[in-house]
Amino acid sequence: MRDHCYRYSLPVLCIIVVAFVLQAILLPAQTPTAVGKLPIAELQKQADAGDPAAQNELGLRYRLGTDVEKDPAKAVPWFLKAARQGYPKAYFNLGAAYFNGDGVRVSDQNSCVWFMLAADAGDARGEEAVERVRQEGPPRQLVDCEVLTATAYLNGTTIKQNYSKAMEWYVKAARAGDGLACDRIAYLYDRGLGVPQDKQQSFDWLKKGADLNYDVSLFELGRAYERGVPVPQDLNKARTLYEQAAAYGQPNALTALGSMYAEGRGVKADNQKTFMYYILASHYGDAEGETKADDLATKLSEKQIAAAKKDAVKAESNLVHPLVLLKR
């Protein structure tokens, strides 16, 4: 939402839009309930006892400076406590906090997720805020927000874990062409989380993610073909998929390629290539690749090691997203 103003360089229009947003949507959601009338001591007591409505109200009072010294930073933890118990108004208030930078750093991403969670819980102001994201932000922003909303339901750290809701939001993002969402759907089907366990559905969604060039799906699809589950084993196809994933610097795929060359599985055994892939895997964050590279180094000559490192530098420069670490 915020980037929309700067992208088109229409300062007057942006001032009007932002002012309207702040006035019409992003003020904290008031709570016209019994807790709103409680004296601060009693409110604090109920909040400490775990009442989500009281926790949200206490957050509001710190946010606005009502009966307490104004302190937005103290408001956020109370909103989070209420949010973890599924209190929709707290979702909205967290979205407003991240949008306005009240007690937290401004984050369009976090604000969008909290607004989306509020809307999903039936909060009208959350629905209005999400609609503004839909109208004013780039389409990719909304898809990213859907993925993060699904992940919030999947992880269950800031809100109650709900695998069915996670699946629902991942499907929305997947329909918009998000590879990560496809990969997460495959994971849910594989584990039977929120849906009946279905290995074939898991495989089909992995393939959709791979077709979108999502590197993790490419690797996992390659592993399915290497293991022969749930498809017939095909080492050539596995190697091709690993190579496609490795082109994006996918560390597990780089290690898997190294292991194939180490064992001569579907390829001619080649310790120099093995070492090259392990080095790359290590630089892209795979601890297993680093361990294997260290072990193999003791069995290679200095000439082989030097040649493998030279090959690694060349291979790394051809990756889609090179880190250029090997030249340091």
pLDDT at 23: 39
Mean pLDDT check: name the lowest of 7-16, 28-37, 122-131: 7-16
21 confidence band (pLDDT: 50, 70, 90): very low
Q: How confident is the model over 246-287, as pLDDT tens digits?
A: 999 999 999 999 999 999 999 999 999 999 999 999 999 999
Is 98 a member of any domain? yes
**Cis preceding linkage at 230, omega within 30:** yes
Between 225 and 322, the higher pLDDT residue: 225
Closest CA to 316 of 278, 288, 287, 289: 278
188 confidence band (pLDDT: 50, 70, 90): very high
Is 21 a member of any domain? yes
pLDDT at 57: 98
Q: Any idea what the Cα angle at residue 195 is, between residues 189 and 198, rounded to 5°?
A: 40
Which whole number is the average pLDDT over 305-311? 95
Is 14 a member of any domain? yes
Q: What's the mean pLDDT when you consider all of the chain?
A: 89
- How many other CB atoms are found less than 10 A from the CB of residue 158? 16
13 confidence band (pLDDT: 50, 70, 90): very low
Collect all residues with Cβ–Cβ distance below 8 Å to 298 and sequence separation of at least 6.
none
CATH at 82: 1.25.40.10
Q: Are 255 and 244 in contact (CB under 8 A)?
A: no
Cα–Cα distance between 328 and 311 in angstroms, integer?
Answer: 15
Is 184 a member of any domain? no
Domain of 96 in residue numbering reads as: 1-105
Which CB contacts under 8 angstroms, 24+ apart, belong to 222-226?
222/253, 222/256, 223/256, 226/256, 226/260, 226/265
pLDDT at 4: 32
pLDDT at 67: 95
pLDDT at 295 over 50: yes
pLDDT at 152: 98
pLDDT at 12: 28
pLDDT at 5 over 90: no
pLDDT at 9: 29
pLDDT more than 90, % of the chain: 84
135 confidence band (pLDDT: 50, 70, 90): very high
- pTM of this structure: 0.84
Is 61 a member of any domain? yes
Is 20 a member of any domain? yes
pLDDT at 321: 73
pLDDT at 297 over 50: yes
pLDDT at 173 over 50: yes
Is 226 a member of any domain? no
Which whole number is the average pLDDT over 81-99? 97
Number of domains in the chain: 1
Is 279 a member of any domain? no
Q: Which helix (H) or strand (E) holds 131?
A: helix 124-136
pLDDT at 320: 84
Between 1 and 95, the higher pLDDT residue: 95
Which whole number is the average pLDDT over 94-98? 97
pLDDT at 62 over 80: yes
